[in-house]
Amino acid sequence: MSEHLNYFTGSEREKQQRFCAVRARMFRPLLVLLDRTGITPNFLSFLSLLSMAGFVYFVPTNMLFALGFVLLHIFFDGIDGSLARYQDTASNAGALADICVDQGGLVIAVLTLIFYKMIDAFFGAWYLVMYIVMITFLVLLNRLGSPVRFAIRSKYFFYILLVLDLYTARSIVHPFLVLFACYMTVLNVHLFLRLRKLV
């Protein structure tokens, strides 16, 4: 896994490898079926991104149902790499597509919520830009052989808070966006300075 493009920190790599192995065993019957029917990892990546269309459509009327499409997006995004490893077709090209689809889902989610005025436009955009910059820097640092030890990637926390926000009187998403936009800004400055020393 680590020889291909990825954004995992040094402290995550071993855990991620174990998680991938567990996931491959758990979904092996599905992977066998997908392989026999000619499904490719790239097709699963496409389905993952396409799933976010359901989120866009249902957000104004049924947030809980819309978040179900986020789960579908995460599921397809989670097994495309497993299928690539099962088919022995894992590559940097596939890893790049996987990373773009993964972050593309967040881009669609945040921009949709901004469009419908469900989150603050300024902090939503700030959070999104800093997140994409952070992922880009992490991939570059890993590629240059200098992974960072630790970084918080908050995307899944964001999705979880969207669910919790449905059942709370006061929004908890807004302070989350403010906190992590600030955190990632500081982190990205550090990552940028680290990159400058390597290039």
Residue 132 is part of a domain; what is its CATH number? 1.20.120.1760
**Residue 99: pLDDT over 70:** yes
Question: Residue 5 domain-assigned?
Answer: no
Question: Residue 3 domain-assigned?
Answer: no
In whole angstroms, give the CA distance from residue 31 to residue 171: 40
Question: Residue 144 domain-assigned?
Answer: yes
Neighbours of 192 (CB within 10 A): 11
| Residue numbers of the domain that contains 133 | 13-198
Question: Residue 170 domain-assigned?
Answer: yes
| C-alpha distances in Å from residue 121, one per residue of 59, 96, 142, 167 | 16, 28, 32, 22
User: Length of the chain, please?
Assistant: 199
Read off the pLDDT band of 165 (50, 70, 90): very high
3-state secondary structure of 152: coil
Question: Residue 146 domain-assigned?
Answer: yes
197: Cα separation from own chain's centroid: 27
Read off the pLDDT band of 125 (50, 70, 90): very high
pLDDT in tens, 12-64: 777 878 888 888 889 899 999 999 999 999 999 999 999 999 999 999 999 99
Question: Residue 54 domain-assigned?
Answer: yes
Domain count, the chain: 1
- pTM, full prediction: 0.91
In whole angstroms, give the CA distance from residue 105 to residue 166: 20
In whole angstroms, give the CA distance from residue 71 to residue 13: 24
Question: Residue 99 domain-assigned?
Answer: yes
Question: Which tokens belong to 88?
Answer: 């022995």
Q: What is the pLDDT of residue 3?
A: 67
Question: Which tokens belong to 77?
Answer: 């995004």
Question: Residue 7 domain-assigned?
Answer: no
